[in-house]
Amino acid sequence: MAASKKPRLRVRDVALCRLLSVVFVTLCGVLLLIFLLASNSTSNDGTHDLENVDAYHHDLRFGKSNNLPQQNELSLRLEKLNGLPPRNLDLYPTLGKDHIVIVLYVHNRPQYLKVVVKSLSRVVGISETLLVVSHDGYFEEMNKIIGGIRFCQVKQIYAPYSPHLFSDSFPGVSADDCKDKDDAGEKHCKGNPDQYGNHRSPKIVSLKHHWWWMMNMIWDGLRETRDHSGHILFIEEDHFIFPNAYRNLQILTSLKPKKCPDCYAANLAPSDVNSKGEGWASLIAERMGNVGYSFNRTIWRKIHNKAREFCFFDDYNWDITMWATVYPSFGSPVYTLRGPRTSAVHFGRCGLHQGQGEKKACIDNGMVNINVEEEDTVSNIASDWQVHIYKNQPGYKAGFKGWGGWGDDRDRHLCLSFANMYLSTGTASPLCGKLHV
């Protein structure tokens, strides 16, 4: 009896199996359909197309494989906004040939931002290019100022892992985080102190995180800029830009290969932020400054290759990190080319650095005491000038240990994850990169 039962059971098994697989396949189909409809409907707020949503889901997938922190609702919502097309496409449907993209990175100083935006509105040639505004945190007043821009294409992006977006978890503060000079073993709290014994402060680390996220996003992630072949100019929310800045920069970048092949970048302002330039009839090559710097993809690749150095250096300042670790690791002095008269001014900080005896431009009741003279309204760089090179300038150099504030392993690894968001080292990366397009 047992022998005759067996085949019957097998037949039943096979039938059951077939039925199950039909049910399974159908179920998968239905689920896929539901998923597609769902992602379609969440994107139908008028501006998102399916391509955006695909890119968005692709980024999410990347995020998971990179151990990026768990996102909250705000973080996810802002990341989705990053997929929106630029504003003002109706007014400026095309970009100038060989345009230089301008990236403005901001936090939350609306009274400063208004001044910067006003200065940009007077820049000759600005309508030929794309302005990308990268936000650290979400602030209505900042949005309103950017939303009012009509003088060029504008693309807003938000750093989705900004500490400012997380109120009770990393990259913000968590309840069990160590504070100040806590002893982690004694207090049973989380965190690694920096070289001076201090634990992380989310407000302090946010700027370096933002800068690094933004660089990776702009060069390798953002659809509007990841294929850009020329220079990209970077400015901050307290940089006043002169009307001749864009035309001067176009001249500098075109002269650079011949006049200063060793220059990594072109700058709008001297590296000494208190200087307005020498006023000579010559170009200047000097150490990289942090006001109005621009460089191309070749230089970005060199910087990106030093992600580890950047992310593990115990200094919360992105610029000092670059000067003390990344640039020295290139093996030759990192010069930038600029004109003899500045086209950008760092303002702000009234009262913060009192007693320096400097007559620095600063802001008071929304008014800035920056003098734009006739000379600053038209390009003032001649292509037949020689280059004056400043050698051995003072400043941060290799060997400097850093000001601290960047000792927590979580910050260091978040930083590394940003470097891997769009370029993973696995064999699948080139394909994924293409799929992303």
Ligand X SMILES: *[C@@H]1O[C@H](CO)[C@@H](O)[C@H](O)[C@H]1NC(C)=O
264 or 313, CB closer to ligand X?
264
Q: How far is the CB of 411 from ligand X (least distance, A)?
A: 31
**Rounded to a whole number, what is the distance in angstroms from the first to the last CA of the chain?**
64
Q: What is the C-alpha separation between 270 and 225, in angstroms, rounded?
A: 27
- Of the residues 211, 213, 234, 264, which one makes contact with ligand X according to CB under 6 A: 264
178 or 263, CB closer to ligand X?
263
43 or 336, CB closer to ligand X?
336
Q: How far is the CB of 344 from ligand X (least distance, A)?
A: 20
48 or 297, CB closer to ligand X?
297
3-state SS class at 301: helix
Using rule CB under 6 A, residue 298 touches ligand X: yes
Q: How far is the CB of 261 from ligand X (least distance, A)?
A: 7
Label residues 247-263 b or e (16+ Cβ within 10 Å = b).
bbbbbbbebbeebbeeb
As a 3-state breakdown, the chain gives helix, strand, coil percent values, each rounded to 5, of 40, 15, 45
At position 260, the amino acid (one-letter code) is: C
241 or 263, CB closer to ligand X?
263
Q: What is the C-alpha separation between 194 and 191, in angstroms, rounded?
A: 10
Using rule CB under 6 A, residue 425 touches ligand X: no
Q: What is the C-alpha separation between 177 and 398, in angstroms, rounded?
A: 32
Q: What is the C-alpha separation between 337 and 283, in angstroms, rounded?
A: 7
Residue 216, token pair as written in the block: 């990776």
Bridge partners for 153 per DSSP: 130
Per the annotation, does 136 bind a ligand? Answer: yes
Q: Applying CB under 6 A, which part among 38-46, 196-204, 297-305, 394-402 lies near ligand X?
A: 297-305
Using rule CB under 6 A, residue 211 touches ligand X: no
Using rule CB under 6 A, residue 267 touches ligand X: no
- Of the residues 296, 321, 417, 420, which one makes contact with ligand X according to CB under 6 A: 296
Q: Applying CB under 6 A, which part among 69-77, 209-217, 295-303, 319-327 lies near ligand X?
A: 295-303
Using rule CB under 6 A, residue 263 touches ligand X: yes
Q: What is the C-alpha separation between 202 and 135, in angstroms, rounded?
A: 16
Q: How far is the CB of 231 from ligand X (least distance, A)?
A: 8
Q: How far is the CB of 36 from ligand X (least distance, A)?
A: 39
Q: How far is the CB of 390 from ligand X (least distance, A)?
A: 18
| Phi, psi dihedrals of residue 406, rounded to the nearest 5° | -135, 60
Q: How far is the CB of 301 from ligand X (least distance, A)?
A: 9
Using rule CB under 6 A, residue 427 touches ligand X: no
Using rule CB under 6 A, residue 379 touches ligand X: no
- Of the residues 48, 256, 338, 346, which one makes contact with ligand X according to CB under 6 A: 256
Element (DSSP H or E) covering residue 117: helix 110-121
Per-position x/- string for 299-328, each x denoting binding to ligand X as judged by CB under 6 A, each - no binding: x-----------------------------
Q: Applying CB under 6 A, which part among 62-70, 93-101, 256-264, 339-347 lies near ligand X?
A: 256-264
Selection from 263, 313, 321 nearest residue 293 by Cα: 263
| Phi, psi dihedrals of residue 241, rounded to the nearest 5° | -105, 130
Sequence-ordered list of residues with C-beta below 8 angstroms from that of 389, at least 6 positions apart, any chain:
284, 285, 286, 335
298 or 427, CB closer to ligand X?
298
Per the annotation, does 346 bind a ligand? Answer: yes
Per the annotation, does 238 bind a ligand? Answer: yes
What is the Rg, in whole angstroms, of the alpha carbon atoms belonging to the chain? 26
250 or 296, CB closer to ligand X?
296
Q: How far is the CB of 208 from ligand X (least distance, A)?
A: 25
Residues 333, 309, 410: CA angle, nearest 5 degrees: 155
Q: Quick count: other Cβ atoms within 10 Å of Cβ 117?
A: 21
Q: What is the C-alpha separation between 12 and 18, in angstroms, rounded?
A: 10
152 or 232, CB closer to ligand X?
232
Using rule CB under 6 A, residue 225 touches ligand X: no
256 or 346, CB closer to ligand X?
256
Q: What is the C-alpha separation between 88 and 140, in angstroms, rounded?
A: 20
Label residues 272-290 b or e (16+ Cβ within 10 Å = b).
beeebbeeeeebbbbbbbb
- The contact set with ligand X (CB under 6 A) reads 256, 263-264, 296-299
**Residue positions forming the annotated binding site:** 136, 238, 346
Q: Which residues fall in the annotated binding site for Mn(2+)? A: 238, 346
